[in-house]
Structures are given as structure tokens and as C-alpha cells.
Structure 1
Amino acid sequence: MLTIEELREVITLIDQSSINEFTYETDGTTISMKKTNGVTEQQLVNTRADQPAQETPEVALKEEAVKVTSEQQQPEENQVNQESNTAYDYEIVSPMVGTLYTAPTPESDAYVTKGSTVKEETVVCIVEAMKLFNEIEAEVTGEIVEIMAEDGELVEYGQPLFRVKKQ
């Protein structure tokens, strides 16, 4: 069973991420979290009869199910949402699932950085899928105002990679 510190860490990580639903099962205990309107609801279910759930001062963990609401991250989320609403006109998205590389080789500089000016044919990154390295072009003329994915990160189809202010 998770300790309260581990449970707090999981709640914080889910609150700070873009994940809307999360379920974790171990030793007959299931933890389910779902975000609704910037608030994370957590449900803990202990299905093991031989080990009752522990009670703590902050969270009374009952044997059936308990919901805990974490609102302490909400002001930070609003601040992050305001920051992410920077002036941009276009998002360069991943055309496929794969690994993102921001430079042609590990020793090279990144194709683009925040503040870089790009044209339609400018290569902004590479997405590797099934050992094929696909160059991703900007497709617009403008300035990179935000980089939304890290080098070496697994990206999904349609995931925003860069935000561009068109010129």
C-alpha cells in the first residue's frame, strides 16, 4: 500500500500533468484519479480482506472507497494556463507516434530554439518511427514562441510540439 507521502506525490504529479484520468493497482488496492475542472478527485479501494486500509489524520482511508479532493494546485494551474496562452497563431504538431529529436545528431545544436525565426520549409525537429527518421517542417513563416516537447521524448500523433507566432 502507498504511504501518505507517496500518495501526495502521485496527486501532485497528476495535478501538474495533462493526464485527465489515472488508475494504479497493487496488492489488491486500486487508486483512481480523475480531473474535473482543475480539481483532482482520488478514489482508493482496498479489495484485500486480510489488510485493512490505514487511517491517517489527513485522509481517512476506508475499506470500501474514499474520495479526496485536492484544490491546492488549482491557483498554480490557472497561472500555468495563463502563461501557456502566450501569443501564438499556429501549433506544429507531430504527424505520427515516435521519438522526438530536436537536433540532427546528439552533438549538434537544436534545429530551432525559442525565438528562432522559421520559414515554411524550415526543419524544426525529427520524429523517429520504426527506425525511419522523419524531418518535420514548420509549414508556416514566423517565430517559435514555445517549445512543448523535450529531446528524446515519446510523442503522440497530433501532439503539439512547437507554438509559432506567424509573421
Structure 2
Amino acid sequence: MLKIQEIRELIKLIDQSDINEFTYESDGTTVTMKKSGNEAVIQKEVLTNVPNEPTTLVNTTPQPAVKEDTVRAESPAAKEEQREAASDADYEIVSPMVGTFYNSPNPESDPYVIKGSKVQKDTVVCIVEAMKLFNEIEAEVTGEIVEVLVENGELVEYGQPLFKVKTK
């Protein structure tokens, strides 16, 4: 089975190439990626050898994150703090899939990371649940979390920024 990072790399390679359709089969698992205009369609089919068990078909259509412009009345100090955080952040940890964002392994636990937390490349920063599968998301950089961009339990889109990180 392909790992999340391998799937991400395949998506990037296919997106940058002239290939319109890609299929990968291994150990009874088939992953098909097709380009259709500006949107990518990914299908994952898991075949099992157990009779009378239905075939699972996952059809995920990643869509670009939609940002809504909102106007908020904030104090000058809060605006300055946001400006500093934005200028300090030089890396964004993004969601590799559509799913539900969780900041801790269970509701009783402390969050993996908060604003000001130091992270390494292999530090787990959150979980994104997709179809009852809990996927640990790693920082992929060494640095400090300067902003958490989503709330616990919030639905996230493919490619949506989750954290801003100031790298060292």
C-alpha cells in the first residue's frame, strides 16, 4: 500500500506532467489518478479475497481551499501580532487530504502542538480523519509553530493550510 507522502509525490508529478491518467496496482490495491481540466480525481479501489464482501471504492475529488474575506474589528495590538506571525512564518503545513482535523489523539489528551511549540521534521502535529482512517500529519520541517489556522473537529480540504511554521 502506498504511504501518504508517496501519494502526494505522485500527485505532484502527475500534475506537472502531460499525463492525463495514471493507475498503480499492488497487493490487491488499485490507485487511479485522472486529470480533468483543473481538478484532479483520485480513485482508490481495495480488492479483497473474501467472498460476499463488497468492494470498497473511494472517490476523492480534491478541491482548492476557498478562503472567505471577512472583516473583523480588532485592536491594533492584535493586528500587529498577526502581522508579526505572518512575517515570521515561512512554511505552511497543509492538509494532504479532505477530512476532519483533530489536534490531539483523543478528546482527553493535550494538543500535539500549540502556538510556540517547537517541531522537528518527524513531529506529529495533528490527525486528519478520512473515512474512519486516522492519518497522522508530520511537520516535515524543523521550526516553531507561529499560528494554528484551524479549529479542532473542523472539516479541512486538500491543500488547506493547517499551521504556519517559522523554520530555523
Q: Report how many aligned residue pairs link the two structures.
A: 99
Write the distance in 2 (CA, Å) between the matches of 1:74 and 1:117.
30
Q: Which amino acid aligns with 1:90?
A: Y
Tell me how far apart the structure 2 counterparts of residues 75 and 131 of structure 1 sit (CA, whole Å).
39
Q: For residues 83 and 121 of structure 2, what CA distance do their matches in structure 1 show?
A: 28
Whether 1:116 aligns to 2:114 is no
| Contact 2:115/2:148, CA 8 A, preserved across alignment | yes
CA distance in 2, matches of 1:114, 1:89: 15
Provide structure 1 residue ranges, at least 5 long, that are not aligned to the other structure: 1-16, 21-37, 39-72
TM-superposed deviation, 1:149: 0.5
Distance 2:105 2:73 in 1: 39
Higher relative contact order (CA 8 A, sep 6+): 2
Q: Return the alpha-carbon distance in structure 2 between the equivalents of residues 128 and 74 of structure 1.
A: 31
Asked if 1:18 is matched to 2:67, the reply is yes
State the partner residue of 1:150: 151
User: 2: CA distance between counterparts of 1:110 and 1:89?
Assistant: 22
Specify the SS of the correspondent of 1:162.
strand
Please state if 1:129 is matched with 2:130: yes
Give the 4+ runs in structure 1 shifted more than 6 A.
none
Distance of 1:148 and 1:74 partners within structure 2: 16
Confirm or deny: 8 A CA contact 2:85 2:146 kept in the other structure: no
Where does 1:95-114 land on structure 2 (aligned, <5 Å)? 95-114=96-115
Q: Aligned equivalents of 2:122 and 2:109: distance in 1?
A: 20
Amino acid at match of 1:126: I
Corresponding letter in the other structure for 1:108: S
- Percent identity reads 65
Question: Is the radius of gyration larger for structure 1 or structure 2?
Answer: 1
Q: 1:133 to 1:86 in 2, by over 3 A?
A: same
Deviations, residues 96-136 of structure 1 (Å, cap 9, x unaligned): 00000000010000000111000000000000001000000
Unpaired stretches in structure 2, ≥5 consecutive residues: 1-65
Q: TM-score normalized by structure 2?
A: 0.53
